[in-house]
Amino acid sequence: MKAAILTSPQRVPDRPLLVEDVPRPEPGAGQVLLRVRACGVCRTDLHIVEGELAPLRASVIPGHQIAGEIVAGATPELPLGTRVGVSWIGGTDGKCAYCRRNLENLCDSPTFTGYSVNGGYAEFAVARSDFVFPLPAALDDRHAAPLLCAGIIGFRSLRVAGIEPGERVGLFGFGASAHLAIEVLHAWNCEVYVSTRGASHRKLAESLGAKWVGSESDRPPVELDRAVTFAPSGDVVVLALSSLRKGGVVAINAIHLDRIPEFDYDRLLWGERQIRSVANMTRADARDFLKLAAEIHLQPRITIFPLDQANEALAAIKNDSIDGAAVILP
Ligand SMILES: [Zn+2]
Ligand SMILES: [Zn+2]
């Protein structure tokens, strides 16, 4: 099969991914083999190929937003031909203290799709059958793919921020995840304030009904109840914190930040404001979000790249040169 492979992390302009022919993987016990129909590109993929996340194996096929069709390893619950999604959490041990507390997103021995095991920048991929999610018929493959990490983890971020219906919510950064989160927030009757770099991202936020849109250094004109930051920048976290009312929460939807700058505790965090990180996702997050996405007819904006142009897809994310999500078609 054809696959895009990372052997040594490099900056994206140096074309870290090589598209090659490799043996088709065989499903083991408890696994399914998927024909990949589409694979979304996530900012985390960028951190993997550029080495901000240290390599876990000698080579890896990235990609953890896989929409595929079961072609082997079928079970009575997952018959041949079932369309399923695979996300960043490819498996957990099911027995550590976190799994036992129903916090499988914090599992001590997790499997990460496209990082600790091969992912979906390929024609075929294997996945644990208990970590695939049947896709609602309302979602086609290429529009379902970006929901599988950007969408699910964006949804988890809204939960971690503790958003209540009707609240004022700030989204800081407006890429693949935020442009889905805004639609969920509108379904919850929230007012959404967007600070982001990039004129086209600001235009997209306006077209999706944001109450106010500003640049990446603009503070929203009202005090926010909650905020979610998407940019990999600690300055943005502090800007979001400075926009909160007392008791408000900033949820950081980023697996990597450049740094957290020093800030004034008395003015910014006092008053029971909170900063929380968002780590991974649970299967319940995935199921709840996919159900909601089908109900509200969530339609991500996508830009398609053929597998041969996987490096270009990563460059597009890095340079913020597309709106919404990049999707690779094998
Ligand atoms: Zn565990
Ligand atoms: Zn991701």
Whether residue 177 contacts residue 199, with contact meaning beta carbons closer than 8 Å, is answered with no
User: Shortest CA distance to 38 belongs to which of 300, 315, 276, 317?
Assistant: 300
Cα 290 to ligand 1 centroid, rounded to whole Å: 23
- Predicted structure pTM score: 0.93
113 forms beta bridges with 117
Torsion angles phi and psi, residue 259, rounded to 5 = 180, 170
Ligand 2 center to 181 CA (angstroms): 14
Instruction: Compute the distance from residue 280 Cα to the ligand 1 centre, in Å.
Output: 13
Q: Which ligand is nearest to the CA of 89?
A: 2
User: From the CA of 221, how far away is ligand 2's center (Å)?
Assistant: 31
Which ligand is nearest the CA of 88, by number? 2
Euclidean distance between CA atoms 290 and 285, whole angstroms: 8
Distance 64 CA to ligand 2 centre (A): 6
Report CA(327)–ligand 1 centroid distance (Å).
30
How far away, in angstroms, is 164 Cα from ligand 2 center? 25
Q: How many whole angstroms separate alpha carbon 125 and alpha carbon 117?
A: 10
In tens digits, the chain (330 residues) has pLDDT values of 999 999 999 999 999 999 999 999 999 999 999 999 999 999 899 999 999 999 999 999 999 999 999 999 999 999 999 999 999 999 999 999 999 999 999 999 999 999 999 999 999 999 999 999 999 999 999 999 999 999 999 999 999 999 999 999 999 999 889 999 999 999 999 999 999 999 999 999 999 999 999 999 999 999 999 999 998 899 999 999 999 999 999 999 988 899 999 999 999 999 999 999 999 999 999 999 999 999 999 989 999 999 999 999 999 999 989 888 999 999
